[in-house]
Amino acid sequence: MTSAPDLAPAARRLGLLLAGVRDSQLAAPTPCVEYTLGDLIDHVGGLSKAFTWSAEKNWPDVPSTGPSGDASRLAPDWRARIPEQLDALAAAWTVPDAWQGMTKAGGVDLPGEVAGRVALNEIVVHGWDVARASGQPYEPGRDEIDLCMELVGPAAGQPDGPFGPVFATAEDAPPLDRLIGLTGRDPAWTPPA
């Protein structure tokens, strides 16, 4: 297992997806049933800041909770600001100290190495969510998918785990479909007609 994967390609890919979202799509449903696309984008904005702070081990003096999602909080410049935040997140995780010792994210204390992998998983999986909800193509790197599978696999289907019930996929399904299924999403999800 690579100890410090590069988050920049995944962050850049998600930033490009965000640039392709039209205003008329912000109320669209997503594979995250509790979120509209606008809510999910706000969630991505929040997690981009949280995982940057996690890498830097420097948190603002605010209550530490997981990033929620609320489209009403999207500022007019979100298409530029959130990709910049994603780039900052990726840059923060290039510092070797980010991967060392303990840190926290979303109110949870965890080792830096785990936090960096959680950040990658959040970017990759929510990239898929945004792509599906907005009708854009999505092709993460196989190395990214494999790293996410290593993180998600042991937690998938756990009663108190971070994901919903596993969505069963065929053993020979594409790796991205298997990852998405492990996070409780249907890999064949498309927006309702």
Instruction: Give the confidence band of 1 by pLDDT, cuts at 50, 70, 90.
Output: very low
Distances (CA, A) of 70 to 14, 27, 42, 85, 191: 18, 11, 6, 17, 19
Q: What is the pLDDT of residue 95?
A: 96
Domain ranges for the chain: 8-157
CATH of domain 8-157: 1.20.120.450
Q: Is the pTM of this model over 0.85?
A: yes
Q: What is the pLDDT of residue 3?
A: 66
Instruction: Specify which residues 103 forms β-bridges with.
Output: 110
Tokens of 52: 């940057």
Measured CA to CA, the distance from residue 153 to residue 142 in angstroms comes to 16
Instruction: Give the confidence band of 38 by pLDDT, cuts at 50, 70, 90.
Output: very high
Residue 180: φ, ψ to 5°: -60, -40
Residue 175: φ, ψ to 5°: -55, -40
Helix, strand, or coil (residue 168): coil
